[in-house]
Amino acid sequence: MLAYTAEALKALDFGRPPPRAVCKTWFTLHLWRPAHQQQPVAPQQLGHASRRRSADRSMSIAWLNAQSLHNKTDAVQQTITERSIDVLVLSETWHTTSDDMCLRLSAPPGYAVTDATRKMGRSGGFAIVYCQHLKCSILPTPACWRSCVCTHVTTSGPVVIMNIYQPGSEKPSSLFFEKLTNVLEMLVVYSCPVVVGGDFNLRAQDDNNSDTRRFVNLLSSFDMVQHVHGPTHLR
């Protein structure tokens, strides 16, 4: 088996990121991990993400666009309780401070809340309602980007949850895809399952849409698996 020193690997830097196909192979083979944590993958398994299973099926995670949490606290709390949700990620909470009463009223007994407020305007804001036994911490993301990334520690190890909000009134820009790529590359170093969700406001059902293709190809390059196969926005 070939082995490289850190200096030899740094010498391979040509001043630009490697092709996405190369990155996908790295992630598939877990090459960023120490050698003793890497697991061999048969050649026929490469490129077949649909055969892989979720790394942690015992954790129930849900997303909801609240469009103002202030008048929906009872409904949110009831949804968490009835569906036995471990982590509920909320977008468009419209809260202004971490002490906002609507955050506490949304959490059932035994749950805690962490949040990220919108600095400007009325809309925006994220909140994460989670079981108290799951230790939660917010991870840094690029400034002025509508996203929130946190890590939860479960009985089987940490899980990173990434929430993204892309307004439907705005066409995804190249900067959106660039920042999403940067965050996903940053999360690789955590060597744990990463779950991405939120409001992307892309025409996911249209395979001919250029933004949809770019988004799907980007997630595929990071060896991610789609777990949602039906509509999540009903008018």
Nearest to 216 by CA among 30, 56, 63, 20: 20
What is the structure's pLDDT at 79?
96
* 199 found inside a domain: yes
* 45 found inside a domain: no
- Please count the structural domains in the chain: 1
- Contact indicator for 66, 100 with CB cutoff of 8 Å: no
CA distance 194 to 34: 19
Q: What letter would DSSP give residue 89? A: E
Other C-beta atoms lying within 10 Å of the C-beta of residue 56: 17
* 212 found inside a domain: yes
CA distance 152 to 180: 20
* 42 found inside a domain: no
Sequence-distant (6+) residues with CB within 8 A of 224 are: 49, 194, 196
150 by DSSP, 3-state: which?
strand
pTM over the 0.75 mark: no
* 148 found inside a domain: yes
Which amino acid makes up residue 107? A
Residue entry with tokens 């900067």: 175
| Per-residue pLDDT reduced to its tens digit, 36-75 | 555 554 444 444 433 333 444 578 999 999 989 999 999 9
163 by DSSP, 3-state: which?
strand
Sequence-distant (6+) residues with CB within 8 A of 98 are: 115, 117
| Per-residue pLDDT reduced to its tens digit, 95-121 | 888 999 999 999 999 999 998 876 555
CATH number of the domain at 186, please. 3.60.10.10
